[in-house]
Amino acid sequence: MPEDKIEKPSDPAGPTGASGKKTVSAHRTRRVLAAVAVGAVVAAIATIAISGGLNSGDKPAATVGGIGSQATNKSAEENAFTSAGAGDCLNWTPATASGGDRTDMSIVSCDTEHRFEVAGPLDLSVFPGAEFGPGSRYPGALRFAELRDEHCTPIVNSYLGSRFDPKGKFSVGLMFPSESSWTSGDRSLRCGLQFSTTTGELLPFIGRVADQDQSNVWDVGTCIGINQNLPTDPVDCANPHAYEVISVIDLGTQFPAGMPSVEDQDAYLEGVCTQAANEYLGSADALRDKTLTLFWDNIALESWLAGSRRVNCSVGTEVATGGFAAITGSAKGEILINGAAPVPPPSAPEGRSVPTPLPGASPPS
């Protein structure tokens, strides 16, 4: 994920009357976000693309020709999984408490909602050795994850012409046969692109990945849930969450000539994110009074080369032990932090500026 710059709540006015700020170390939150990335990998292993694999007997209710191929009359034995090729987009109804999942999978237009974009096939039957040969044992989740990383990542990079953002909103996925199909000799897999939550749920998206900005951003007003002090997936802001997105900034408009350094990004984002926070929260004092922390993302080189340009400005509350405090309610209104109303820090004595301690820090003696 992108790195983050963190800014403390505004300090009380100094001798000049201007509101002073202190930029603090981003290392703690960077560690938090790194931990989230690891968690996402674990989730991806558990549901590499579709949990449980695909059975050649799982026939869709309807199969239509995707973009780049003509609609044909398919035999009863053929389904979307086995017939999908590079550039095809697949969709299905996700599982519910009453059942379902994958049985209505079909190839759909990529201009409509879909959950998987096929980048290319992966045929394990041509691999040397006995690992995937007739009668071989069904690979476990970890082995499928290794196959995804070893073979699907290059397939996706070739499919997108090396314009895949590894830190962006999309991830590399692998669709694989069910254990019963494997026993019957099916060794056909599909590599592709997906948009998933930290729990591994595949979310629908519209359009081919190559035609859109892959920036890992959320819409303004989105609240990101929290679990054991770590950010998770979007939730209603009335529920406990780690932080709230207050702005989406397009760095391409400020830096049209080429990728800016992290220092140049920070110098620009400090101003625009602070302004965004003041406007979003309703005043220049709200960030301080609510003891919130302002932070923003940085674009990495690989993301910039892939065409990603947008970053989020967000507000949350750090905890001294690392990670975030649980916030309830939108930052635009009344909030609770770990179940209690925030207590604004004391005003500074006139003529001097006193840095506001981070939430959880010991008060000065």
Phi, psi of 151 (to 5 degrees): -115, -35
Phi, psi of 288 (to 5 degrees): -70, -45
- What pTM did the predictor assign? 0.72
Q: Is residue 172 part of a domain?
A: yes
Are 170 and 71 within one domain? yes
Q: How far is CA 21 from the centre of its chain?
A: 30
Q: Is residue 31 part of a domain?
A: yes
> pLDDT value at position 320?
85
Rounded Cα distance, 145 and 167, in Å: 18
Rounded Cα distance, 215 and 138, in Å: 36
- Which residue do the tokens 């405090």 mark? 325
Q: Is residue 111 part of a domain?
A: yes
Q: In terms of DSSP bridges, do strands 310-316 and 293-297 run parallel, antiparallel, or are they unpaired?
A: antiparallel
Are 70 and 173 within one domain? yes
pLDDT band at 66 (very low <50, low <70, confident <90, very high): very low
Total domain count, the chain: 2
pLDDT band at 94 (very low <50, low <70, confident <90, very high): confident
Closest CA to 306 of 148, 166, 171: 166
Q: Is residue 351 part of a domain?
A: no
Q: Is residue 320 part of a domain?
A: yes
Are 19 and 85 within one domain? no
Are 56 and 174 within one domain? yes
Are 52 and 191 within one domain? yes
Are 106 and 31 within one domain? no
> pLDDT value at position 298?
96
Closest CA to 325 of 344, 338, 315: 338
Where a domain ends, among 195, 225, 246?
A: 195
Are 113 and 191 within one domain? yes
Q: What is the tens place of the pLDDT at every residue in 342-351?
A: 999 887 666 5
Are 66 and 172 within one domain? yes
Residue span of the structural domain in which 14 resides: 4-39+213-337
Are 67 and 177 within one domain? yes
Closest CA to 303 of 188, 216, 218: 216
Q: Average pLDDT in the 181-201 region?
A: 90
**Helix, strand, coil content of the chain in percent (nearest 5):** 25, 20, 55
Strand partners for 245: 314
Where a domain ends, among 195, 227, 259?
A: 195
Q: How far is CA 59 from the centre of its chain?
A: 31
Give the chain's radius of gyration (CA, Å): 24
Are 226 and 106 within one domain? no
Instruction: Provide the token pair at 49.
Output: 């693309």
Instruction: Provide the token pair at 51.
Output: 């949990």
